[in-house]
Structure 1
């Protein structure tokens, strides 16, 4: 009887302790925050996302995933329902994307803000607002995987063509030619060194005397410049003397003016007289020319005078006396 009472007391104690632990767990895990429901619709796969998965806003936990199913409005789309703390700054620029935790493959919903507001999505049949869900980097990589593999195969095929037997032989010949060219360059470099040692070094050694001669030449040129400057000063003085009042240029100007006056007087007085004398001479010459012409035509003028000569026998108008 005593053993049964001890067993009953132990069982009651265990039940009380279990109830206390359950109550403590509920008290510790209680959540008094208010949540707002949102929906996400996507045509991409949501592998690794489970209910109760975390919802983070820029890395801060603000809610959890409450349901994962299919979108009744769009055939083939996955519908995700999330509960977000009402204190989270959800706005028109907010969008969602699936994030993955390390190598475990577990996914969570990551919320972030874009630079420009997104067009407002119409609510679903449940009446809950919807947020745009962008493809995750892994989803984009999975979509582009076939294209990447095709490009890799094409690149591999081209590499195999480049590394074919014929191209390898050409590459070997090219390397051989490059080696020969390098040897030629080395020989040319040695020749250049020898040329520098044989010709350039003596030329460099001759530079100091040449510089000395150039310095002497410059001194001579400077002296010649000084002489030219002195000559220019003398020419300037001579020019000043020639241009002074009463000087040679002034006298030449006076003589020129006197000559101009004499030419003017000749043109106004002497030249008209000469013109009249020339006219008289011309008239006398014309009269003398006419007289000479008349004598040439009728020499009998000296005998009979300038009258008309009667016709002779045999001439028209002849009349016997």
Structure 2
């Protein structure tokens, strides 16, 4: 898996370097600030891809005494660096556009510039789509971030061609700086969301997508002996996941039975979720006075009360640090 990540990022670096040269040559022959916008973003592509390559190498290192959860969070840091570079590039482009308004320059050889930008857009579009697809498949935020950036670059390149075409046929040179400022705002907007996602990952902010996926897997494989799951936490370390949860089991189970049920929960999550998954399960005994109302165990010889409801496991109630009998208490309190 990690070798495929490295291979994809190496291709990204190589192609980004080639397109960087193409775009700056396009700017050189046209003197267009709008094309400079595209060229500046390519510098970000190269730097970000190089950092992404290093982060993938680092995230693949095994756990050690200083990093008991591995090195996967470097991928969040990589995405944050890429987002920050995009924002800086956008600010520089706005500065260049303002200078263009004050000191306008004549634009030359626009058709050739459009052709070069179009070629770059096609290549970036294909590479961006591939990286995003592989990033989701390999559960790599670094590949996804790099792919999203390249896809954004491709879209901006094609819109840029349309803008330059208008300038070429109308002769309205002032549009060059307006277009470059519009693109600068657009890439700053995209950079912000990359930084936002990076900070969320580094701060262990809850990821609704990861939690919902975990809940779905547990519901799909739910067993009657799993009376209750609560206090569940899902943390991501790059492409890896760490899950803590409390599992309520019948209190009369012996240690071997408890071990087998815990192991099955771990196995279900490890096989159902992408990447490396580490699961810590704390086993709780059931409380007959509280749990019988929603316990799904059939022919239970210690049952005190008949089963009255099946609690639906959701991301909301499974994350609470309490058994689901609180939910049942409210259910009975609401009944007339």
Fold match (TM-score > 0.5): no
Q: Which has the higher helix share?
A: 2
Q: Which has the higher contact order (CA 8 A, sep 6+)?
A: 2
Q: Which has the higher strand share?
A: 1
What is the TM-score with the length of structure 1 in the denominator? Answer: 0.19
Q: Which has the larger radius of gyration?
A: 1
What is the TM-score with the length of structure 2 in the denominator? Answer: 0.19
